[in-house]
Amino acid sequence: MAKTIFITGASRGFGKLWAEALLQRGDKVVATARNLSALDDLVNKYGDNILPLQLDVNDRAADFAAISKAKEHFGSIDVLINNAGYGLFGSIEETTEQEAREQMETNFFGLLWLSQAVLPVMREQGYGHIIQLSSVLGLVTLPVLGLYNASKFAVEGLSETLAAEVKGFGINVSLIEPNGFATDWAGASAAQTVAMPEYDAVRAAFQAGLNDTDIFGVPEATTDAVLKLIDTENPPLRLFLGKHAYPWVKQTYEGRAAEWDSWNEVAAAAHGK
């Protein structure tokens, strides 16, 4: 049965791939982008099944207006995919206030505003699925991606809480947590701080870790997993994409558990009774 999916950041990368996969199988797609011309090929190919909307997710009023227009146009919104976002590369000390705020505005607040906007629609329907594009870097961290890490950690906490709050309305929430993929996320879509020479060694170590091409998955291979997530009756709260995410997170959390165990006597004593 065809669904209506609202997806942000549909001009390139995962967003465009998933939008086209959904359209190919007959779903109706509300595709948002800052530059609507990037969606012309999908509009020409799929006609009335796609509603292209120009949207800067940082604009809360525009987010609410876009959801309202989508509901009015197609009559329902079955799935919201909060995909819009970008990576800010640079050490934490290098990061300016504006860079930090812009990273959080897009990756966290834009996602928050759209989630808020779609909830009344889904509550009225009695069903819905909100899918948040997080990252493996919402669970573990890498140097020179501190603000990106922070934005995705925030998305994780927000979405896990939201899932508990809206389950009784028939609304599901899922976090997609990809490892690295060969999109332009680290290229044209990325932002860079002004480098401080003190962090050259940290940057060099980070770049050296990217030389293994096996790290990066094939973006087109993600579409089947996303379609399965959308179609399942009881979707998971979290879904990794790629073969490296789970072992990396598992190893990291085992290390955290060991550290917590070693300090548990101190922690328990701090309770005071």
Q: Is position 134 annotated as part of the catalytic site?
A: yes
Q: Is position 159 annotated as part of the catalytic site?
A: no
User: Catalytic pick from 11, 115, 134, 159?
Assistant: 134
What is the enclosing helix (H) or strand (E) of 79?
strand 79-82
Q: Is position 16 annotated as part of the catalytic site?
A: no
DSSP 17-77: HHHHHHHHTT-EEEEEESSGGGGHHHHHHHGGGEEEEE--TT-HHHHHHHHHHHHHHHS--
* Chain CA centroid to CA 25, Å: 23
For helices 223-231 and 13-24, what crossing angle results, to 10°? 60
Structure tokens at 179: 């490892």
What are the phi and psi torsion angles at 235 (to 5°)? -70, 150
Sequence-distant (≥ 6) Cβ neighbours of residue 244 within 8 angstroms: 136, 179, 180, 215
User: Catalytic pick from 46, 152, 159, 199?
Assistant: 152
Catalytic site positions: 134, 148, 152
